[in-house]
Chain A
Amino acid sequence: MPVSEYVGHIKDTVKSAWEGMSVTLSYMFRRPITVQYAGPELAEQSGDLIQHRLPSRYRGFLEVDTEICTACQACERACPIACIAIQIEKDPASPKQRVMTRFDIDEAKCMYCGLCVEPCPTGAIQHTREFEGAQRFLPNMVLRFVDPAKPVPPYKPPKGATAYPRVMLGEITRALVKKWDSPPPELPLAGVGKAPAKRKPEGDPRAAAMELAKKAIGADAKKLTGVLEEAQAGTDCGACTYPTCREYAEAMASGQEKRLHMCEPGGADSARATHIIMDSHKAGQVVVSPEAEKATYEGPS
C-alpha cells in the first residue's frame, strides 16, 4: 500500500467522522418528525384519534361488514395462517337458506398481509386504521363479526353491481375491540365446534357426480343449469369470474362457457363432476371420459 493511500485512509476516516457526527448531532437540536402518541384515553377526550392521522392505506385490524358479505369464504381460504374462521349452516327455519353462524378473525394471529382482502368479491372485508388492541387476555383479540345467536344470511349481490354499500370503515371493528382488561370469553367460544354445514353431497363425491349426471340426461337448459349449479361449491365467491354459481352454471349450460373447471372452492371434485355431467348430457348416458378423470381445478386464466 503506497504511503499516499495509507494517509488517505486516515484522512477519509477523520473526515467522514467529522461530517457524519455533525449530521447526527444536528438532530439533537431539532424537533423529532414523529407524532407523539397520546394514548387511547387522551385521544378519546380530545377527539383527536390518531387513527385519523394514519395514511388511508394503513393495514390495521380487519373489519367485515356482514351486510355485504356473500359468505363465499374466499378470505378464509386466502389467509395463509388460518386466522379467519367462517361457519355456514342451513337455516333451521327455511332449509334452503344458508346462514353464517360464525365469522371470527383472530387479530392476535393475523400478520396484516392483506391477502384476505384481495379476493373478496364485495369488499366486505377491509383493513381499518384501528390498531389499539392490547389485551390482557389473548382470546379477546378474536373479533367476532357474527353473533352466533343471530346468524347472518349471505348477501346476494344485485346483477351487474360493481359497488356495494358499506358502513363507515372502522366503526364495526372499533365497537368490537374490547377494553384491555375485559374478562376473557368463556371457552370454548359459543357456536364453535359444531359440525360445519355440508356444502357438497355426503359420501363419495364420485357417486354424487354419477347421481347428478343421471339427472342431466335429457334435461333441458334450465334443468341442466340446476344440476350444474349443484356440482359447484355454491359459495358464490366469484372466483370463477361469474358473480354467482348460478351464472357460471348458466353459461356452461348454454354452451358459452367451455371451461368447466373454474370453481375454486369446489376444486377437483367440482371440476370432475362438471365434466361428467356435461359429457353425460351430450351422450345421453352416463359416461366418465378420461379427461373427466383427470379434471382438476384450473383458474380462469
Chain B
Amino acid sequence: MREFLDEIIRDRLGQDPASWALTQGVYLVAMMAAGIALTTFGALFAGLTSWWERRIAARMQSRVGPNRVGPQGILQFLADALKLLVKEDLISSASDRWLFRAAPYFVVAGFALTFVVLPFGYHLSATRMNVGLFYVLSVTALVVVGILISGWASNSKWALFGGIRAAAQVVSYEIPAGLVILVPVLMAGSLNLHDIIRAQGGWPWDWYLFQTPMGYAGFFILFVALLAEGNRTPFDLPEAESELVSGYNTEYSGMRFAYFFLTEFGNLWVMSAVMTTCFLGGWQVPGVSAENLARWEALHQVPGWFYLVSAAVFCAKTLLLANVVIWIRWTFPRVRVDQMMSLCWKYLVPAAMALVVLAAVTELMSFELFGEAARVQAPLFSLRGLIHFAFFAAGGLVPAVLFFRKTFRNISFVGDRVRPLSNW
C-alpha cells in the first residue's frame, strides 16, 4: 500500500514522497479510508451471511426462510441490526462492568485486524506483510481473549462455562492449525499470503490442495481446526444453546451482542479466505501463468481486468468455502466436549505433526534433486503436471461426481423431483 501511495504522490501530485511535508498526512488518510472500507466490508459480509445462512438453513430443513424484508429477504440483516441498535444496553448489576463492556471490542478487534493482511485479489490487500500468515494466527487469538473476558465478566454460570469452553477449545485447536499451516508455508517458502498464492497456479491441479498428499490431508485438518477456532458447529460448544442458553454472550443485549454476532459471521470470511489462500490457489486466474504475470509486471503493464478477475476468482472461492461451512453447520450435530478434545489431541495434532515433517522432508528432497525448479508450477503436459492432474482427478473430480450422484439419488430415492428454484 505504501508503494502505491508513494506512486500516487509522485505521479499525480508531483511531489517527492520522501521530502514532501504532507506525505504522512496522505498516509494517515489512506489508512483511515482503508480501515473503514475493510471493516465495512467485514460487517456487510457478516450481515449478508447471517441472512444467507438462514436461507440455506431453511432450505436444508425444507423450509423457506426469511424472505420478507427486501427482495428475497436480503435486507433482513438491516432490520435485525436496527432492532439490536434500539434495544436496551443491559449490564447486569453483578457483572464486572468494565470488563463486561470491553469484551466485545476485543472480539471485534481480533476479527477486524485480520483484514489488514487478507488478500482480495492481485495486489489487493491493505498490506503485503511478510509475516502475514503468522499475523493472522496471532490476531485471531484476540477473539478468544474477548470471549474469555465476556464469560468471566458476566458473572453468570452459563457465560462462564461458555468462556472456559471457548478457551479450552481455541487453545487446543490452535496447535493443529498452527502446525498444518506450515505445510503450504514450507511448499511456498514464505509467510506472505500473496507469495503463497503466487507459488500456486490458476488451474485446480496447480493448487496446493492437489499437489501433494500432505497438502490434501492438510486442507482437511486446517478446515476442521479453523471450524473449531471459529466456534462453528459442530464445535459450537462455547455457545451450545441447548446447554448454556447462549454461552459466553448470554448476558449481552443490543449492540454489544451484535458485535459478537458480527464477529461470528465475519469469521466465516476470514477462515475461508485463509483456506483459499493456503490451499486453493487464492486469486490465481486460470490461464494466466506465472510467466505471463511476471512479464506484465516487468513491463508495468498489468491489465486492469486482471485486478478485477483475480478479485472475482478469490471471492468466488472464498464464498464457496463459506457455503461449505454453513452446509456443515446444518448437517452435523454438536460434538461432546470429550469428543472435541479427543479429536484434537488424538487425531489432528499427531496427523498435523506428521504432515509437517513429511512436507519438510519432501521439500528438502525435491530441492536437493531439482533445485529452485521444484518450486515452479509445472505445465500440464509434463510429467509433474500429469501427476498433479491425476491427483486432482482422483482426489477432487471423482469424489465430486460420486457425491453429486449420491445427492440426486437421495432425491429420487424418496420419490421427489429436482426443483432447485421452486418456492424461494
Contacts and interface: CB of A to CB of B under 8 A. Distances in A.
A255 B115 CA distance: 89
Contacts of A36: 64, 423
B344 to A, nearest CB: 13
A29 B62 CA distance: 10
Interface stretch (A17-25, A124-132, A214-222, A234-242): A17-25
Interface stretch (B245-253, B303-311, B402-410): B402-410
Interface string A2-33: 00001001100000011011111111111111
B72 interface: no
Interface string B381-424: 00000000000000000000001001110110000111110110
A236 B62 CA distance: 50
Contacts, number: 69
Interface in A133-164: none
A25 B64 contact: no
A256 interface: no
B347 A26 contact: no
Interface size class of A (residues with CB under 8 A): 20 to 34
A10 B59 CA distance: 29
A22 B406 contact: yes
B328 interface: yes
A34 interface: yes
B407 A31 contact: no
A20 B407 CA distance: 10
Contact of A22 (B328, B346, B347, B407): B407
B416 A20 contact: no
A24 B403 contact: no
B60 interface: yes
Contacts of B417: 30
B62 A34 contact: yes
B105 interface: no
A26 B419 contact: no
A195 B228 CA distance: 63
A21 B399 CA distance: 13
Given A32-B58, A32-B62, A33-B62, A24 B331 contact: yes
B62 A26 contact: no
Contacts of B331: 17, 20-21, 23-24
A32 B416 CA distance: 11
B60 A24 contact: yes
A18 B403 contact: yes
Given A32-B64, A34-B62, A36-B64, A26 B407 contact: yes
B61 A27 contact: yes
A1 B342 CA distance: 12
B330 interface: yes
Contacts of B327: 21, 24-25
Given A22-B403, A22-B407, A30 B416 contact: yes
Contacts of B347: 9-10
Contact of B328 (A10, A21, A34): A21
Contact of B419 (A10, A21, A29): A29
A29 B408 CA distance: 9
Interface of B: 56, 58-64, 327-328, 330-332, 346-347, 403, 406-408, 410-411, 416-420, 422-423
For the complex of A and B, 9 pairs with smallest distance between CB atoms = A26-B410, A31-B422, A33-B62, A24-B331, A29-B420, A22-B406, A22-B407, A31-B419, A24-B60
10 contacts: A9-B347, A18-B406, A20-B331, A24-B330, A27-B60, A28-B56, A28-B59, A30-B420, A33-B63, A36-B423
